[in-house]
Amino acid sequence: MPIYEYEPIDYDCLICGGRFEALQGIHDEPLPFCPTCGLDCRRVISKASIKIATPTDADRAAKKGLTTFRRAEKGVWEKVAGPGVDVIQGSAEEIASVEAEKKTSKPKKLELP
């Protein structure tokens, strides 16, 4: 479950030091009040909660300057992460060569335009 961070809307909370965290399910409603002191509060998107997300292989590859694509449909690849174009559209010959390549175990190397 993700940890959400809250801050009081109009006041400084004297009990919890202005901010508190709550462990909640993704589909849970945001807390309307601080559970400690009862002041109105709102959920804030914290950098800490982003860090909790486990980086995918694509994100790790992107940090090394590599671009990861996934096949969206026949002959079309969408970028998952990394630099470069967002979509690769293969030509008929390229699609045919990918189909032929599937018979081998080697992954097809995509060449960027």
Number of residues in contact with Zn ion under rule CB under 5 A: 6
**Residue of 34, 62, 67, 79 interacting with Zn ion (CB under 5 A):** 34
Structure tokens at 103: 């018979």
Smallest distance from the beta carbon of 6 to Zn ion, in angstroms?
A: 8
Residue with smaller CB distance to Zn ion, 22 or 58? 22
Q: Is 16 in the site for Zn ion (CB under 5 A)?
A: yes
Structure tokens at 14: 């004297």
Q: Is 58 in the site for Zn ion (CB under 5 A)?
A: no
d(CA 38, CA 50): 27
Smallest distance from the beta carbon of 2 to Zn ion, in angstroms?
A: 20
Q: 10 Å Cβ neighbour count for 38?
A: 11
Candidates 78, 80, 74; CA nearest to 99 is 74
Candidates 93, 86, 53, 54; CA nearest to 69 is 86
**Residue of 3, 18, 30, 36 interacting with Zn ion (CB under 5 A):** 36
Residue with smaller CB distance to Zn ion, 37 or 66? 37
How many residues in the chain?
A: 113
User: Residue numbers of the site for Zn ion (CB under 5 A)?
Assistant: 13, 15-16, 34, 36-37
